[in-house]
Amino acid sequence: MSSAVLATRETSAAPRSGLRPRGVTWLTWRQTRAALLVVTLGYAAALAYLLYQHHQFDVTTVRLRGLHCSTDTRDPVSVITANCNLAALAVMQAASGVHRLATVALAAPGLLGAVLAAQPLAVDLERGRHRLLWSQSVSPRRWFTQRMLLPAAILLVLSAVLSVALRWAVLWTHPALPIEDWSFDNASDALAPVYPLLTLAAFALGAVVGLLLHRVIAALGITLALYGVLLYGMAQVRPYLVPLHRKVVGPGDPWPSGDWVYDSGPVVHGKDFSYSACPVATGCDKEPSWILYHPLSQFGPMLWVETGMLAALTAGLVALAYRRLLALTR
């Protein structure tokens, strides 16, 4: 047996200066840079679409107001009506474009949690590459932390930028978008501060599923399914996050404008009933109505309560992920 004895050499660990990514961060960057670039471009495109739609909303609103549809004009009535309808339609289209963007943006955290957290962890465990990683000079805990930190930080920044821009477009600009479309709606979860925490929660969910399942396809599917369950659950608990208000509205009186009416029914002989109890022939048109509702002023606090819940969920999932990681090395 010949021995290829090599001369003594100095060790040459990676240099530790400069801002370039090092250690596990370098590996994470190398493995996810293409995906992170696509995600960044996606968020940038969403932001550009939002700004464009908001600009369209401004322009069409000014045009609608310029038509003075509710005032006298020397134009023939048919022309006024047509112009007003078209201008109003353009305003609505611009507003609904923003709403649609928010609804679509809600799907992104689940997808990103599946692709950027569940998939890479599951594939490393499925193909035994965790043994390669954990037999280097970094601990599994440090590897996992740094492996997750870079994409999580980038997603946090991107989701925060988009959600703040959405909130600006919906609540903070003049003219503002019609808030009735947003308040207490599912799409409101795409607003800051809920959306960044929703993104982190979905990412942590993906990490836990990836560590638990060790199967790529299953991890992707389960993460998406659980994210759907999360969104559904949030929609179910949303009415109870802040106390409901109750009031009685007389027949013909206007109902609260911009508020979220959660439930209502007729008041008959001083008692609350549901509308299904009204006689088919006469109905309850002449009876006052009871209303359970959230006033518009509760919209902001409700978003913060949702954010707190998601922060707690994220912390729980992160703790679960570290616990699972520990179990994998025992």
Partner 1 sequence: MNGEARVGDEGTTPEAAFAANGLGRRYRRRWALRDCAFAIPAGAVCGLVGPNGSGKSTLLTLGAGLRQPTAGEVRVHGLRPGLDPELRERIGFVAQDKPLYPRLTVAETLRFGRELNPRWDQELALQVVQQGRLPLTTRVGELSGGQRTRVALALALGKRPDVLLLDEPMSDLDPLSRHQLMGTLMGQAAEHGTTVVISTHILSELDGVIDHLLLVDGGQVRLAGPVEEILGAHLLLDGAEGLPLEPHTVLEVRHTGRGVSALVRPDGPVAEGWRAESPDLEQLLLAYLRSPEAAPLNTTVPSTPLEVAA
Closest CA to 231 of 134, 115, 119, 310: 310
Would you count residue 135 as binding partner 1 (CB under 8 A)? yes
Of residues 16-35, which lie at the interface with partner 1 (CB under 8 A)? Answer: 22-24, 26-27, 30-31
Q: Is 257 in the site for partner 1 (CB under 8 A)?
A: no
Q: How far is the CB of 27 from partner 1 (least distance, A)?
A: 6
Residue 322 interacts with partner 1 (CB under 8 A)? Answer: no
Among 3, 17, 236, 282, binds partner 1 (CB under 8 A): 3
Burial 196-228 (b: 16+ CB within 10 A, else e): bbbbbbbbbbbbbbbbbbbbbebbbebbbebbe
Specify the residue, 32 or 289, whose C-beta has the smaller distance to partner 1.
32
Contacting residue, 58, 100, 134, 256, with partner 1 by CB under 8 A: 134
Q: Is 12 in the site for partner 1 (CB under 8 A)?
A: yes
Task: Give me 235's structure tokens.
Answer: 């929609």
Q: Output the CA–CA distances (angstroms, integers) from residue 90 to 73, 79, 95, 196, in the order listed.
A: 21, 16, 9, 31
The burial class, CB within 10 Å (0-12 / 13-18 / 19+), for 13 is exposed
Options 8, 78, 276, 282; binder of partner 1; rule CB under 8 A:
8
Query: Which residues 113-132 are close enough to bind partner 1 by CB under 8 A?
Result: 127-129, 131-132
Pick the closer one to partner 1 by CB: 7 or 281: 7
231 touches 113 (CB < 8 A): no
- Residue 269 sits in the site that holds partner 1 (CB under 8 A): no
- Burial of 325 from C-beta contacts in 10 A (0-12 / 13-18 / 19+): buried
Cβ neighbour number for residue 161 with a 10 Å cutoff: 16
Tell whether residue 9 is a contact of partner 1 (CB under 8 A).
yes
Residues near partner 1 (CB under 8 A): 1-6, 8-9, 11-14, 22-24, 26-27, 30-31, 127-129, 131-139, 329-330
